[in-house]
Amino acid sequence: MKNCNLDMFPVGYHTFHEDQRLNANLNMLYSFGILSREQLEDIGRQIPDPERWIAIFTRLGNEYECSGDTLRAAFCYYSAMFYTSGTVQTSGDVLSKRDLYEKSRRMFDLYYSDDDDLKYMQIPFGSAYLPVYFSAQESPKGTIVLFGGYDSIIQEFLGLYKYFRCMGYDIYFFEGPGQGEVLMREGLKMTHEWEHCTGAVLDHFGLDDVTVIGISLGGYLAPRAAAYDKRISRVVMCDLVYDFYGAILGKMGDKAKMFDDLVSHPKNLMWKVIDKKLESNFFTKWLLDQGYSIFEDVHTPCEYFNYIKRFNTRDISPMITQDVLVLAGKSDLYTIFYNDQIKALTNARSITGRVFTEEESADHHCQIGNIPLLLTTITDWIAEKER
């Protein structure tokens, strides 16, 4: 089998920080070959709290930009942006989330500007546009359309394109409402009706018989698109998102039933207590602030939790008639619904499922820790289904 640039993705999931959420983001930088294990161990030691994270990665972005290392600068600015809700002051500058996005984006644009195999285009989408990066070649084996999820930017996945191209596929990456450029520059909020933006991409490029790969919340968006658009022949959930809201409830233990009842009663006086508690924790405040910026007409915790109920595949799964690859990590939040997702695909042409393990260094969300295994699993499956 061809290696196809897999050596650029180191294997292993490490403890760079005691907080699992920060550690996952640090491991993403390791798994995509952006920063070394030694660098990330050093960064982890410098971060006592999430606020320090923002300052450190902004500084690193500046340092890499000054040295001309545009890819590392791009990912460091993006890492700082990821946890920024309002503004951050660093080196005398006051930077907003939008400022950090633009810094990251400028570095990504510089890095890929000389790559003749990867094109960028803005395609019409209502009164706005969708950004698409694509790499097409003569006589491809097939076509892949890939997108991210809840708070992704598509540039974080562009490092995968050379692998797919080497394996013989045309590859199209795009952002939809609520993501990256479409949110930051066009102001379009997230929609759960993802078939509209996927359809716009397929229409514009005249694509048919495609494989869609949905990353993170894309594990809901991809099957949603496939349920309504039969130009999609194969769908990859990476990872599955059978029930966004239900997965969060699943982490609440004995408090889940009480919380679920409260979500159905937005005027309950308990919300004043809960709102204050949620606001006092950095990660819950950050999660909610992300939701307020991404989702339309969502301004309170209760509205947020009610809104994310839309992101479930319970009702659309029987509408999926294509080949489906359901991926999950043993330690991932959404894996509790793995069997439910498999059973719900009652009309799929075929169903293949895999739960990745700690022994494979792939048991975390989207198989961070073993990108080569993830990629080969996907392309081996596509090749099998295309025969």
Give one DSSP letter per residue of 238-303, joined into a string: ES--SBHHHHHHHTSGGGHHHHHHHHT-TT-THHHHHHHHHHHSHHHHHHHHHHHHHBTT--SHHH
Q: CA 198 from chain center: how many Å?
A: 16
Give the residue from 77, 92, 112 where a domain finishes. 112
- Among the listed residues 187, 169, 165, the one whose alpha carbon sits nearest the alpha carbon of residue 178: 187
C-alpha dist (Å) from residue 131 to 104, 123, 181, 195, 258:
16, 6, 7, 16, 42
What is the structure's pLDDT at 1?
Answer: 46
Tell whether 178 and 318 lie within a shared domain.
yes
Tell whether 130 and 203 lie within a shared domain.
yes
Q: Which domain covers residue 26, as residue numbers?
A: 14-112
Q: CA 287 from chain center: how many Å?
A: 14
Tell whether 38 and 75 lie within a shared domain.
yes
- Among the listed residues 243, 204, 207, the one whose alpha carbon sits nearest the alpha carbon of residue 333: 243
Assigned domain for 9 exists: no
Assigned domain for 5 exists: no
pTM for this prediction? 0.96
Assigned domain for 7 exists: no
Domains: count for the chain: 3
Tell whether 135 and 188 lie within a shared domain.
yes
In the chain, which stretches have pLDDT less than 50?
1
DSSP state at residue 35: S
What is the structure's pLDDT at 279?
Answer: 85
Tell whether 142 and 236 lie within a shared domain.
yes
Place of tokens 């080497």: 166
Place of tokens 């207590």: 273
C-alpha dist (Å) from residue 37 to 10, 89, 253, 347, 370:
10, 28, 35, 45, 14
What is the 3-state secondary structure of 44-78? HHCCCCHHHHHHHHHHHHHHHHHHCCHHHHHHHHH
Assigned domain for 324 exists: yes
Tell whether 163 and 181 lie within a shared domain.
yes
Assigned domain for 251 exists: yes
Give the residue from 281, 309, 337 where a domain finishes. 309
Assigned domain for 180 exists: yes
CB 348 within 8 A of CB 323: yes
Assigned domain for 182 exists: yes
What is the structure's pLDDT at 2?
Answer: 65
Tell whether 67 and 180 lie within a shared domain.
no
